[in-house]
Amino acid sequence: MPRPIQALIHTDALTHNLARARDAAPDARVWAVVKANAYGHGIERVFQALRGADGFALLDLDEARRLRELDWRGPILLLEGCFEPRDLELCSRLDLWHVIHREAQIDWLAAHKTQQPHRVFLKLNSGMNRLGLRPQAFRSAWARLNALPQVDEISFVTHFADADGPRGVEPQVQRFLEATADLPGERSLSNSAATLRLAGTDARVRADWVRPGIMVYGSAPDFPENDIAHWGLQPTMTLRSQLIAVQQLQPGETVGYGSTFTTQQPMRIGVVACGYADGYPRHAGTGTPVLVEGVRTRTLGRVSMDMLAVDLSPVPAAQPGAEVTLWGRGPRGAVLPIDEVAQAAGTLGYELMCALALRVPVLTV
Ligand SMILES: *Cc1c(COP(=O)(O)O)cnc(C)c1O
């Protein structure tokens, strides 16, 4: 028998969450962001559930090729554009739309021989200082692109640094509006946080296309201010396993490497077949939420490579073989949002879902 650990991908939840993005940004078209192998879910596993999207956005050319192999004929956007000139050949062959975020990418395009002119998304660095042309360089870049026979349509894109928090997006929106004023073309600004928090009421932020990623995968971009229940999102990934041992401890005994947890009273603990080599965060200390038979309890002590310990006080009848939900959907309708586990480990749902280890068998349900 294999180890009892499994990940489940919930296709109904993916479709549901994508619909929430649409509701949040009425009249905008929706890129489903599927970078990082669909945030660790697997592009092939999510594709059917998300094919109602207007397009797919990602950044790895091999992932773009995989989407075309799934027979997706609609738009694909390369969020980082081309990394080297010969990437343009794949863009021509697979009809990939690509971001232009620096001048060299325009030079490459000008030297590229193609029958099929490209659709490009010119990116403004509106303040995040990651990718994009600065406002002063934006118009001349647009003029260069506009003069190229290799280009048939120019759209505009920028990315927010603070859509999930109190700093907000206003200065970046202002810079984007100024830089693109009077230029013809479609516009895209919003990630999940901006889509959920702003796109419904602010047409400038909604624009022509929104780019939701994390919300599609059932994580709240602005947790803990808001959780997935608040946004009407459902977990799309469950990590589940079983108890493989139970220990009855006396007061003053310790649990796990480093003996970081000491019992105060007699205590039953369970040992779960899940550790950091499965992608569970090692930094999740004592008290990280976990479900046993759908009942909420907590982890105890350090996470080891293949195992972790849980407090069985709220589930006194639990025996080896009991179902343990590390995150996602548990039995009897119980839900443990990945965001709560991530918070306990000092990270984000993004990182946990992307870090699901290769050794964990994945079931699409
Ligand atoms: C990853 C990414 C997104 C999606 O961000 P989420 O926070 O996951 O919604 C949107 N746009 C760009 C450019 C990205 O890199």
In a domain, 290, yes or no: yes
Instruction: Decide if 217 is catalytic.
Output: no
Choose the final residue of a domain: 219, 246, 268: 219
Which residue of 17, 29, 33 sits with most ligand 1 atoms within 8 Å of its CB, as the best mutation to test the pocket?
Answer: 33
pLDDT tens per residue, range 301-341: 999 999 999 999 999 999 999 999 999 999 999 999 999 99
Domain shared by 170 and 69, yes or no: yes
Instruction: Decide if 123 is catalytic.
Output: no
Domain shared by 156 and 252, yes or no: no
CA of 79 to the centre of ligand 1 (A): 9
Contact 294, 330 (CB under 8 A): yes
Give the whole-angstrom CA distance, residue 29 versus residue 48: 18
What residues flank ligand 1, with Cβ below 6 Å? 33, 35, 79, 159, 191-192, 211-214, 221
Is residue 351 over pLDDT 80? yes
CB neighbour list of residue 153: distance below 8 Å, 6 or more residues apart: 119, 120, 185
Task: Over range 204-213, report the average pLDDT.
Answer: 98
Residue 103 parent element (H or E): helix 103-110
In a domain, 4, yes or no: no
Choose the final residue of a domain: 188, 219, 250: 219
As a whole-number percent, the residues of the chain with pLDDT over 70 amount to: 100
The identity of residue 281, as a single letter, is P
Cα distances (angstroms) measured from residue 251 to each of 44, 149, 242, 265, 285: 50, 77, 25, 4, 20
Domain shared by 311 and 261, yes or no: yes
pLDDT tens per residue, range 112-122: 999 999 999 99
Q: Output the pTM of the full model.
A: 0.97
- Which residue range forms the structural domain that includes residue 357? 237-364
CATH number, domain containing residue 50:
3.20.20.10
